[in-house]
Structure 1
Amino acid sequence: MEHDGATAHGRLHRTTHTGQHASATDRAGTDALTGAGTDADPGVPARLRDLPGWLFRGQRAVILLLLMTLTADVAFMGLHVWAHYNDDNHMYLVHTDRGHAEFFQYIKFLFLFVLTAYYAVEQRCWQVAMWLFLFVFFLVTDMLRWHEMQGGRIADALGLESAFGLRGQDFGELVYLAVAGLVLGVPLVAGFFWGTRRTKWIYWAFLVPTALLFFAGVVLDQLHMMAITYVPRIRNYMAIAEDGGEMLATSLLIAVALRLTVSGGAPGLPLRRPDGSRAP
């Protein structure tokens, strides 16, 4: 009898342990899908190359929003090409200051700010809130043309002259952006190094499309100016690459910000019920 009791106790212990292990596994799987968890188990992928899977796999809402914004981006690029060859209305050109495409870009920056601020407030995460300063800078400097105004003032103050197909103002803009990058980089660096594993992953997720935005807005911008001087016949293509690249990168930033606050998504009117029968 004692042997049978010990055997039963062993089975009960193993069953309880197995149930606890399964429950922990289920929680870990749920955390990985929803982004929940603790610092020890933050529910985020461990490698940067897993970013596309985290962003898109099973994320219907994110995919649909990204498709809508990318469709609008491509439509504005198409309008640019059409207006360049068939119309004198410069408001359709993607590089026109305060044109139709730029106003859409302003709205996307507002979307990006709202989504990121929502996550930061909801999670009480000051590290993610540090990105808001950069996003406000993107919006304000683009809308008010601060980089052009300050670039001209810096060029006059430092006596910068034209060279390599670039104007003195272009060099002034680079100085302005470098100083702004240093100032805005301080809170971001602080947020990264004093962050958790989860917030560091969020930083990397934001950094990839931000780097694309920087490449389009700074590197391609300077190449565009050089093309105007040396190869004017390709300046229209460079304009599309520069401003179109900024639009696409901003759409990716919005997708990341939405993924932070939303997980999954299901059809609003499914064709079949859970039992397999067709819905009316």
Structure 2
Amino acid sequence: MTDRSIPSSKHGMRLKLQPLAEILLLLLLTDFLAILAHFAFRLVPQFNSLYWAISSDRGFGETFQYIKEFWLVCSFAMLARIRAEWAYLSFSLLFGYLLIDDAFFVHEQVGEWIATTQNFQPVLGLRAVDLGELVVVASTGLFFLVLIGVSYWLGTQKFRWVCKRIFVLLGCLAFVGVVLDALHIMMEVINRPGIPLGFAFELAEDGGEMIVMSLLCWYGISLLKQPDLSPVRTNEVIVSSTSLK
């Protein structure tokens, strides 16, 4: 009876994980559809609506980003309730800020105000407003780093296990959204005709940001489907299965 129950539980895990793979596939397919629409916008003269450019505010790609960020806010808020651990709300607040920032251009407007009031000067191809935006991004990034760091320190082992995986994805998001964006602006100074640096950076920056956000969204949903999934829990299951034998 014991031998039959263990394969049955493994089979059940496969059935449970299958919808999660389908969710990730749907997210990525929508991302690639937005990227293909961006190609058409750049290369087909008849396909000239800014709505299809992934770099366009309130366009198709950006709107899909808003939806993913909203799902992440809800996922981590529900996760805090399910696991009775309010440390997860730190991630819900982070993605809530990203949603507000993307939808209402917070760091652009505040960055422009800072650059004007502090009389920033262009540096290394970066405009004064770009430097102001970097100040806003760095300040908010430091705030959430401290908030999540405190949550990590006070959180359980399960929360820390989740944090390590989210930190990797957030690092990728920061690279494509901040580092590549700054490099894109700096490289425009030396751009030459016939070398599509701007187009390549658009795809790497905005397309990469969409894919990373889809991975984050999928991971947040997967945590709701597997609320007790952690190395500690896995070891407990293995020990209990061994003891039954």
Change (3 A) 1:57 1:226: farther
Match runs of 1:71-220 below 5 Å:
71-86=29-44, 87-220=47-180
1:63 equivalent in structure 2: 21
Runs of at least 5 residues in structure 2 that lack an aligned partner in the other structure: 227-245
Query: 2:198 matched to 1:235?
Result: yes
Map of 2:238 onto structure 1: none
In the alignment, the residues of structure 2 paired with residue 182 and residue 223 of structure 1 have an alpha-carbon distance, to the nearest angstrom, of 21
Corresponding residue for residue 258 of structure 1:
221
Residue 228 of structure 1 deviates from its aligned partner by 2.4
Q: Is the 8 A contact 1:217 1:243 kept in 2?
A: yes
State the AA in 2 paired with 1:242: E
Q: Which amino acid aligns with 1:80?
A: H
Equivalent position SS for 1:88? coil
Deviation string for 1:91-120 (max 9, x for gaps)? 110001111110111011111111211111
State the TM-score, normalized to the length of structure 1.
Answer: 0.72
Q: Deviations over 1:185-208 (max 9, x none)?
A: 222111101111111001112111
Aligned mates of 1:104, 1:58 — CA distance in 2: 26
Q: Which amino acid aligns with 1:138?
A: L
Q: Which moved more, 1:180-189 or 1:101-110?
A: 180-189
Please tell me the residue identity of whatever aligns with 1:212. C
User: Does the 8 Å contact 1:165/1:230 carry over to 2?
Assistant: no
Contact 2:73 2:93 in 1 (8 A): no
Distance 2:167 2:15 in 1: 20
- Write out per-residue CA displacement over residues 213-260 of structure 1, whole angstroms, 9 at most, x where no aligned residue: 111110011111123222263101111111111111111111111121
Structure 1: gaps spanning 5 or more residues: 1-21, 35-55, 264-280
Q: Say what the alpha-carbon RMSD is for the aligned residues.
A: 2.5
* Secondary structure of the structure 1 residue equivalent to 2:134: helix
Which of structure 1's runs of 4+ aligned residues deviate more than 3 A? Answer: none
* Equivalent residue letter for 2:29: T
Q: Which has the greater radius of gyration?
A: 1
Matched AA of 2:211: L
% of aligned pairs identical? 30
Higher fraction of helix: 2
Structure 2 distance, partners of 1:107, 1:258, is 13
